[in-house]
Structure 1
Amino acid sequence: MKYLAQFGIIIAITFAGELLNRLIPAPVPASIYGLVILLILLLSGLLKVSQVKETSDFLIAVMPIMFVPPAVGLMESWGILSGNLIAILVILVVSTILVMAVTGMVIQALAKKSGGESK
């Protein structure tokens, strides 16, 4: 029953994100609204990590399975994608390097702010 209650909390937060997505005319995905709501609830103490931990761990454990349908969709679209393969690869490489660089700079800034040592 604990897992069902935890899943209900996660679904309620996801639903709130969907509502915000419909109400706010901004190009922000509903999942981002849901994550922000979850972050606010956790930081404010209104929601404890223990109230969603087990179900969250389970959802993270089965996450690779969630990538199977999109991968199959990409394989079915190979005819369309193959004509733009070079452009797609360039975008993938550039965006990966950019994300890695920005993530590294953010981590270094956070480490300096918290007094930790960064190498």
Structure 2
Amino acid sequence: MLDLLLWLLGYQLVGEALVRGMGWQMPGPVMGLLLLFSTLWLRRAVPAALQRETPRFLGHMSLLFIPAGGALLAYAPMLSAHGWQLALIMLASSLATLLATGLVLKLLLRGRRY
């Protein structure tokens, strides 16, 4: 599991340094994920450490929702005042994401035979 954490934290660190160094308005972890994806795509293979440890790591991803739950409690007054607007925004953005993903998939699979 240490190998996987070193991979992820290393790419996050490089992404953070790149974003701050270039002055881009983008989260460093997102840039790190793009760099990791690019590396895996260029290698055309997943390293053994990532392939072996990722399923175990994903089993603990629910721990990342603890800070979000704390934020829900901290912002409870704002959520009760503007909850329906936030729910509408989340619904609209989810539908837009679903439609965009479907269109991209349709474009990518356009010339393929099944």
TM-score range, shorter chain: 0.7 to 0.9
* Structure-2 separation of matches of 1:40 and 1:82: 42
Q: How does 1:31-110 map to 2 (within 5 A)?
A: 31-45=29-43, 48-110=46-108
- 1:5 Cα deviation after fit: 2.7
TM-score, length of structure 1 as denominator length: 0.82
1:16 is matched with 14
Deviations 1:16-73 (A, max 9, x none): 1111121121111111110111012112218733231233222222112211221122
Amino acid in structure 1 at the alignment position of 2:64: M
* Structure-2 separation of matches of 1:87 and 1:33: 30
Identity %: 19
* Structure-2 separation of matches of 1:76 and 1:32: 26
Unaligned runs of 5+ in 1: none
Cα gap change, 1:116 to 1:75, in 2 (>3 Å): farther
Amino acid in structure 1 at the alignment position of 2:84: I
CA RMSD, 1 decimal: 2.0
Work out whether residues 7 and 55 of structure 1, in 8 Å CA contact, stay in contact via their aligned partners in 2.
no
Residue-pair matches, total: 114
* Structure-1 separation of matches of 2:53 and 2:14: 19
